[in-house]
Copies of this chain bind each other. A is one copy, B any other.
Amino acid sequence: MSFSVTILGSSSALPTSKRFLSAHLLKVDERFFLIDCGEGTQIQLRKFKVKLGKINNIFISHLHGDHVLGLYGLILSFNLLGRKHDLNIYAHNDIEPIINFHLKYFCHNIEFKINIHAINCRKKEIIYEDHKITVQTIPLKHRIPTCGFIFKEKQKTLNIKKEIVDYYKIPINEILRIKEGADFVTSEGKILPNKNMTLPPFIPRSYAYCSDSSYKESIISLIKDVDILYHEATFLQKDADKARDTYHCTAEQAAEIALKANVKKLLIGHFSARYKSIQLFMEEAKKIFENTCAVEDGEIYSVELRREDYNYL
C-alpha cells in the first residue's frame, strides 16, 4: 500500500556531478509511473534497483531535451530485456515522430507496442485512470507547451475488520456490500451494524508534479491540498529576472504556490547548475512555506496511509 516518489534527477538543463536530469518515479503499491525521462534515467533506475519491466506508463511534461532524452535508451533497454507488453507514453503530440525516428535508426526490431497518448497541455483533463488512481494534467506556462500531472488515489472503501470476516464466515459478495456501507445479517438473523464491522477508509493520497513553469496562480485550484507538491525552483529570488525570462520559477515563488494551495509538503528541484549550494533555496522557500524539502537524487518521499477519522470507533 505504498505511495512514494523517488527522485531520479534533480538538476535543470545541465547535469552536475551529483544531479541527473529531470525524472521522478511514483510508486503506487507495486506499480510504477515514470514522470519525465531526462538523459540517464535508465541508469538511475538500474542504480536504485527498479525493475524496468514494471514501468508501463511514462508521463512527459514537455519536449525539452533535459526532460525527454532518456526515453531513447530506456526503450532500447526495455527491448533488450525482452519486453513484450505495451508501453504507454503520455506526452505532447510531437513525441510521436521523435520516437518513430529513433526507432527507425536504433531499434527497428522492437518487440513491444508503444502507445502514444497525445495530451493537450492547454487544458486540465484526466489522461489516465485505473481502479486505483487517476492522473490529471496541470497546464503550466513555459516556452513550449508544458503540463504538470496530478496523481490521485481514488476514494477508497471502508475497511472490513478481518476478525469479523473470520468469525462470521462472511461470504465475498457480502464483504463487498459491507465495504460500501451495508450492515450484515447473520444466519441467525442478528443484524451487525456496519460501523461495528468496519474501519473508516484510508484517505486518498495525491502527488502533483509541476515542472517547468513560470509562476502561475491558476494551478493552485488544481493542486489544492495535495499531500506532496513537487514544484520546480530553478532560480533564487536574486535571479528572478532570469526566471521570468526563461519561464521558470524561484524557490520563493514555488513556496508561494505551495502556501496558497495548502499542500502538505513541498519538494523543490530543477536547480540551475550555476548554484554551488542549495542551502539558499531552502532558506528562501522555508520563509514562506516551512515544510519544504530541496530534493537530492535518490531520495524517496512517502505518503503514509491515514484514516479519515481515527476515533471512528
Least CB separation from A75: chain B residue: B65
CB distance from A98 to the nearest CB of B (A): 6
On chain B, the residues within 8 Å of A69 by CB distance are: 39, 69, 72-73, 76, 106
A106 near B64: Cβ-Cβ < 8 Å: yes
* A40 closest partner in B (C-beta): B40
Q: How far is the CB of A58 from chain B (nearest CB, A)?
A: 16
| A70 adjacent to chain B (CB < 8 Å) | yes
Interface size for A (C-beta < 8 A) is 32
A221 within 8 A of B: no
A185 within 8 Å of B by Cβ? no
Instruction: Evaluate whether A77 and B14 lie within 8 angstroms (CB atoms) in the complex, with A72-B65, A106-B64 already known.
Output: yes
> Known contacts being A39-B73, A73-B39, is A46 close to B21, with CB within 8 Å?
no
Q: Is the CB of A81 within 8 A of B43?
A: no
Answer whether residue A80 sits at the interface, using C-beta atoms and an 8 A cutoff: yes
A-B CB contact pairs (8 Å), 24 listed? A13-B76, A14-B46, A14-B77, A15-B46, A15-B77, A17-B49, A20-B43, A21-B73, A39-B42, A39-B70, A39-B72, A39-B73, A40-B40, A43-B43, A64-B106, A65-B73, A65-B76, A65-B106, A65-B107, A66-B76, A69-B69, A69-B76, A72-B72, A98-B105
Q: Which residues of A contact B (CB under 8 A)?
A: 13-17, 20-21, 39-40, 42-43, 46-47, 49, 63-66, 69-70, 72-73, 76-77, 80-81, 94, 98, 101, 105-107
